[in-house]
Amino acid sequence: MSKKEPKKYGGDWAFRYIYRNDLPEYTADPKILEYPTAPDRHYHYEPNTGSVADRFLFEVCGTNVENGVPCAPLRMGFLADSFYDPERRDVPQNLAAEDLELLAPPFEPEIVEASKELPKDVLYIKQDRINMAAAPRTYGKSSDRVTARSKANATTVYRVPETAEEKLALIKTTFAASKHFTTENMKHPSGDLNIKAVEILPVFPDFTDAWCDPLVLSLFDTDPLEKFKVGVLKHEKQMALEDAILKPMKNPADPTDEFMSYYSPDAQSVAKLWATRKPKEEREQPIDGVELEQLDYPLVRDFSYQKSENNQKQLVWRVDSTNGRVFFKRVPTKLTFKRRRAKGNIREEDGWERPTHLEVNRRPLSVDELHKRRRALAEELGIEEAVGQDPVDAMDVDV
């Protein structure tokens, strides 16, 4: 490399990982936070602006089948965002004359000269007892005493209730806690007294059939569509992520080499999908009982993955602020995806004809398929029947 030639940084992925956390410039004027704080005090990010949330996504995919599985990004956000109304405008309250008289005048501290007298209590002398004989002999006994502080610092192991009696006891405890705790006496887990509870919402299993299929939480080490070119539509990339497909692959030269191929719709297919998401009254042609046009899914990238199961504490939450409810679904399986590197020791892979393009046809779900999905949901929740779904809006994918 010549000395005059500028040195290039970020050639390796480790450097890219550091430099990817580039936040946009904060254009708002500095303000002093006060309680209660304004709802628009945070900087709200928009999609396709290069933020960290757009580049590192938590994805949700279904079961691993031979024809591939749908892969859509999990809608993530803060609890405060569910109550945020961008069209809301705070109207300043005009106080009456008699109310203005009740307000306290501004406090002006008096300037007092510093006193030269010494305080009565000397604070820099340590008054605690000092043990000059070091630690006492225990003669085989433990010298660690159990104090109130050690009990508070000890972590309690939470065990998921399994028997019917334990589940009923947990339900009774939940009802008792809901009567005891209110927005006035509820404290934040961090212990910060300045954080106040706004609203208490009940939590239920997802009996609304919003996540009727089994879910697998998948974590990608990079944005699968980092080279995606944004077109005219503002949410083209988001739609391409929501309608992506993961297809399991196996190298014939090395049967132990298993990986996943990531397919995403092209620009024309994204435009077709955008037309189907319009309201029913705005669609040019009704889709009731009629197959949609064929969609093209080119190969984007291959990912190697690791699978971990039995994650019982791994939950997905959905806040329904309109009806005042919160729904959760247990996601016990987790997949960690990493970009697959080429292996030079396997030369037979060059002659392997692998699918680099998928043709996808979408059709409405039949009545039998809808009943099958509802039965699977009812078995998972342990109830007799689940809430149904509109068969017109329910769609299936044939690859």
pTM score:
0.47
Q: Is residue 12 a contact partner of residue 18, using CB atoms and an 8 Å limit?
A: no
What average pLDDT does this structure show over 13-36? 45
Structural domain contains residue 340 = yes
Single-letter residue type at 104: A
Residue 397, pLDDT > 50, answer no
Give the range among 89-98, 123-132, 229-238, 344-353 with minimum mean pLDDT.
123-132
Which among 261, 250, 245 is positioned nearest to 297, based on CA atoms? 245
The CA distance from 393 to 92, in Å, is 44
Q: Is residue 206 a contact partner of residue 318, using CB atoms and an 8 Å limit?
A: yes
The CA distance from 32 to 44, in Å, is 18
The CA distance from 386 to 76, in Å, is 26
Q: Is residue 352 a contact partner of residue 252, using CB atoms and an 8 Å limit?
A: yes
Q: Is residue 270 a contact partner of residue 239, using CB atoms and an 8 Å limit?
A: yes
Chain mean position to CA 54: 12
The CA distance from 79 to 330, in Å, is 19
Give the range among 54-68, 97-111, 289-303 with minimum mean pLDDT.
54-68
Give the range among 52-61, 323-332, 334-343 with minimum mean pLDDT.
52-61
Structural domain contains residue 155 = no
Query: Which tens digits make up the pLDDT trace of 117-155?
Result: 555 554 444 445 544 455 555 444 444 555 555 555 555
- When pLDDT is cut at 50, 70 and 90, the band that residue 188 belongs to is confident
Per the structure, the count of domains in the chain is 1
Query: Which tens digits make up the pLDDT trace of 189-228?
Result: 788 888 888 888 888 887 776 776 677 888 888 888 877 7
Residue 380, pLDDT > 50, answer yes
Single-letter residue type at 327: F
Helix, coil or strand: residue 100: helix
Helix, coil or strand: residue 337: strand
Domain that holds residue 246: 44-78+204-266+299-359
Query: Which tens digits make up the pLDDT trace of 308-338?
Result: 888 777 888 888 878 888 888 888 888 888 8
What average pLDDT does this structure show over 256-270? 86
The CA distance from 20 to 9, in Å, is 13
- Pull the structure tokens for residue 272: 């077709």
- When pLDDT is cut at 50, 70 and 90, the band that residue 278 belongs to is low
Structural domain contains residue 23 = no
What average pLDDT does this structure show over 97-117? 63
Beta strands 334-339 and 216-220 are parallel
Structural domain contains residue 30 = no
- Pull the structure tokens for residue 36: 């209660």
Residue 32, pLDDT > 80, answer no
Structural domain contains residue 106 = no
Question: In whole numbers, what is the pLDDT of the chain averaged over residues?
Answer: 66
Structural domain contains residue 260 = yes
Residue 60, pLDDT > 60, answer no
The CA distance from 70 to 192, in Å, is 42
Structural domain contains residue 259 = yes
Query: Which tens digits make up the pLDDT trace of 166-184?
Result: 888 887 887 787 778 888 8
The percentage of the chain sitting over the pLDDT mark of 70, rounded to a whole number, equals 47
